[in-house]
Amino acid sequence: MTKAKTSTWQNAPLDAETRVTSDHHQSLRVWLRMLACTNLIGTHVRQKLQAQFGITLPRFDLMAQLERAPQGLKMGELTRRLMVTGGKAGQQQFQRMAAEHERWVVDLFDDLTVKQKTLLAELLTALKRSATERLLAAGGPR
């Protein structure tokens, strides 16, 4: 970690995750750490999408869904509002945005090794599976 990164981190405002103390339950600490990371990355991506493409994250997410189901959705007025057209120009614009979006996220994870990213993905997969099973067993949301 560089000095610039260290000083930025040390000067960062306290959030729920950084205020957690050792007497808090480990599960709460993990949850708050994940939430802090999600918020940090989400804010960065939202700002970059707005600055570079003039689009919000919800609009980008919807465009990503449309890209995945090009023949399964009728868009009408929605396509006009989301800058998506049936022609090549809208698809090319989305492809450019998607590539930049991926680059921003990859860049934020760049200091982690492949092994660390693999382990993190495996742990989050196990957590997702466990949480989903418990919620389904309790009749809760998916």
Burial (0-12, 13-18, 19+ Cβ within 10 Å), 49 = buried
Digit-coded pLDDT (tens) for 56-70: 988 888 878 777 776
| Among the ranges given (35-39, 48-52, 86-90, 95-99), the one the predictor scored with the smallest mean pLDDT | 86-90
Please give the model's pTM, rounded to 2 decimal places: 0.59
- Rounded CA-CA distance 142/139 in Å is 9
Phi then psi for residue 114, to 5 deg, are: -60, -40
Distances from the Cα of 38 to the Cα of 29, 114, 115, 134, angstroms = 14, 20, 20, 22
Structural domain spans, the chain: 13-111, 112-142
Q: Which CATH class is domain 13-111?
A: mainly alpha
